[in-house]
Structure 1
Amino acid sequence: MIQLCKEDNGLWIVTINRPEKANSLTEAMLTELADIAESAGSAKVIIFTGAGKVFSAGADLDEARAGLATSPVWERLSSAVAQLPCLTIAALNGTLAGGANGLALACDLRIAVPTAKFFYPVMKLGFLPQPSDPKRMTALIGPSRTKLILMGGQKILADEALQFGLIDRVVEPDDLMSTARAIAGDTLAASTEIAQGIKSLCQ
């Protein structure tokens, strides 16, 4: 349910492929994503995307009830992505919900289709978010807007998410992957040392 495509130029494309379940994430899927991120030393750019019309609905409901909602695997994944020296892009093909926000927040860039919605209803469900998620969200959009999402339970539409700074660009569905590839182009063409050096200077 996780597809990995490695191209000769150093581009890795990771696709969450469980559209019949809105790309909800099981522990096995999260572990596979974390394994990919932790083994991506040769990648120059990684694009994370989803199959179908939803990027991810967050935790698989059955597994969430069994404890996945508070599993450390979420933090393992987001930490692995955040620590990558390569350029990471979340190409959000649709709505991003719950714990799946951690993956996108850990990426360097986020682009999304106009119909995407963003929400993280942890308080309503009675859970704390993973520790790094509020910190990364606050760094992007500030404390008040982070509380609007996490404490106010608000669903943010793509245009508002762009205005907030939660995402970096809104792209039509047919152009999503071509736009992500275009953004990746300069990094793929550059030497690894220069690309990693620029990323480190931006942190």
Structure 2
Amino acid sequence: MIRADRDGDALTLTIDRPGRANSLTAAMLSDMARHVEDARDLRLLILTGAGDKAFSAGADLEEARAGLATSPLWERLSGAVATVPCLTVAALNGTLAGGAFGMALACDIRLSVPQASFFYPVAKLGFLPQPSDPVRLAALVGPARAKLILAGGARLDASEALSFGLIDRIVPDPVAAARDLAPGAAGHVAAIKAMVP
């Protein structure tokens, strides 16, 4: 399930399936995308996961085998995150894997706990990444490192992810750190985002 907690003009969306490494079903992806698409009056949007082990392991395995791994829902969600005018933060409470990369890559800022790991094993599983993911990943880490992660299946720890530029800070509590950010008025945030390529 996706938990939505609004506090004034800040919204936190939590992937709440810790017993399954916060793996995502089609219904969860659709629900998350709908929340983001409706969030046009915010200053801050935080995406996180429940528990302390995984932000998200990506697609639910049973649904992945049934076609979720290549569903356009992933691109719908990451596209919505990329275009929402407020400041967006991926508060990575644990491991980020597979298709869940898309929503984190689409965020403006990525904050991570020290024990997180990062891997996107699409090539090993016989899939291609969602179309926008390699572009966003290469913009953050460079083309060679993007190929290392996507084609080589490299697994990064948080310190290596930070040195690559995949994440922006390592913090003990990413949600608290995200809430400590003080974005300006919604219109100013949107204008600044439009100025930064």
Asked if these proteins are the same fold (TM beyond 0.5), I'd say yes
SS in 1 for 2:103: helix
Residue 28 of structure 1, CA deviation: 0.2
Does residue 133 (structure 1) correspond to residue 133 (structure 2)? The answer is yes
Residue 30 of structure 1, CA deviation: 0.3
Stretches of structure 1 that go unaligned for 5 or more consecutive residues are none
Residue 191 of structure 1, CA deviation: 2.2
Residue 42 of structure 1, CA deviation: 1.3
Given residue 37 of structure 1, which amino acid in structure 2 is its aligned partner? V
* 1:175-190 → structure 2 map (5 Å cutoff): 175-183=173-181, 185=182, 187=183, 190=184
2:193 is matched with which residue?
199
Post-superposition CA distance 1:115-137 (Å, at most 9, x none): 10100000110001000000000
Q: Provide the rounded CA distance (Å) in 1 between the counterparts of 2:186 and 2:178.
A: 19
Q: Provide the rounded CA distance (Å) in 2 between the counterparts of 1:42 and 1:84.
A: 9
1:68 is matched with which residue?
68
Q: Provide the rounded CA distance (Å) in 2 between the counterparts of 1:129 and 1:193.
A: 33
Q: Provide the rounded CA distance (Å) in 1 between the counterparts of 2:186 and 2:121.
A: 39
What number of residue pairs does the alignment pair up? Answer: 196
Post-superposition CA distance 1:141-199 (Å, at most 9, x none): 00000010111111011000000000000011xx322211112x2x1xx2222121111
SS in 1 for 2:14: strand
SS in 2 for 1:199: helix
* 1:19-98 → structure 2 map (5 Å cutoff): 19-52=18-51, 53-98=53-98
Post-superposition CA distance 1:89-120 (Å, at most 9, x none): 00000000000000100000000001101000
Given residue 176 of structure 1, which amino acid in structure 2 is its aligned partner? P
SS in 1 for 2:55: strand
Q: Provide the rounded CA distance (Å) in 2 between the counterparts of 1:58 and 1:114.
A: 20
For the aligned residues, what is the CA RMSD? Answer: 0.8
Residue 17 of structure 1, CA deviation: 0.3
Post-superposition CA distance 1:41-97 (Å, at most 9, x none): 111110000001210000000000000000110001000100111100000000000
Given residue 35 of structure 1, which amino acid in structure 2 is its aligned partner? R
Post-superposition CA distance 1:1-31 (Å, at most 9, x none): 10001112x0001100000000000000000
SS in 1 for 2:136: helix
Q: Runs of 4 or more off by more than 4 Å in structure 1?
A: none
Given residue 99 of structure 2, which amino acid in structure 1 is its aligned partner? G
Given residue 178 of structure 2, which amino acid in structure 1 is its aligned partner? A
Q: Provide the rounded CA distance (Å) in 2 between the counterparts of 1:68 and 1:91.
A: 24
SS in 1 for 2:88: strand
